[in-house]
Amino acid sequence: MYDRILVPTDGSEYAEAAAERAFDLAETTDAAVFVVCVVEEGPLGSVRLPGDGASAAEAFAERAETFVGRLEKRARERGLEVETEIREGVPVRELLAYADEVGAAVAVMGSRGRGGVSRMMLGSVTDGVTREGDIDVLVVGEKGATA
């Protein structure tokens, strides 16, 4: 079935729930997991934050290490083979490129369930991966439900 599972994270509760489902699937299929976080490029990334003066992109990159490290630890505690990656760029593009690089057959992703105008204005990384990728996508929604 699946021998390589992509586990994207942004540190949200939805990504955390998706990771747990991905780890369950990896245990069942004896698959390796590939945890990845993408630090998004863009005009807001250069904005300096109050306090230490770090840019928004720098601050998120530091948090990305925490997000990825936390999932790596949980995967290892479950006895799973895990690799991690932090990338910079356009999330959908970077996730699909990484999935291709590691040969992932499925991505297990969280979704906030945005709809209507919010989705049209903000877009959805999960939707983008589903539409643009040549990879199966297991979507874990609110309360861990799957679609």
Number of residues that this document lists for the chain = 147
Q: How far apart are CA 119 and CA 15, in angstroms?
A: 18
Q: Which domain holds residue 39?
A: 4-144
Q: How far apart are CA 10 and CA 17, in angstroms?
A: 12
Q: Tell me how many domains the chain contains.
A: 1
Summarised one tens digit per residue, pLDDT across range 76-101 is: 999 999 999 999 999 999 999 999 99
Q: How far is CA 46 from the centre of its chain?
A: 22
Summarised one tens digit per residue, pLDDT across range 25-81 is: 999 999 999 999 998 866 555 555 455 556 666 778 888 999 999 999 999 999 999
Separation in Å, CA 90 to CA 18, 53, 80, 110, 133:
21, 24, 28, 18, 14
Specify the CATH number for the domain of residue 128.
3.40.50.620
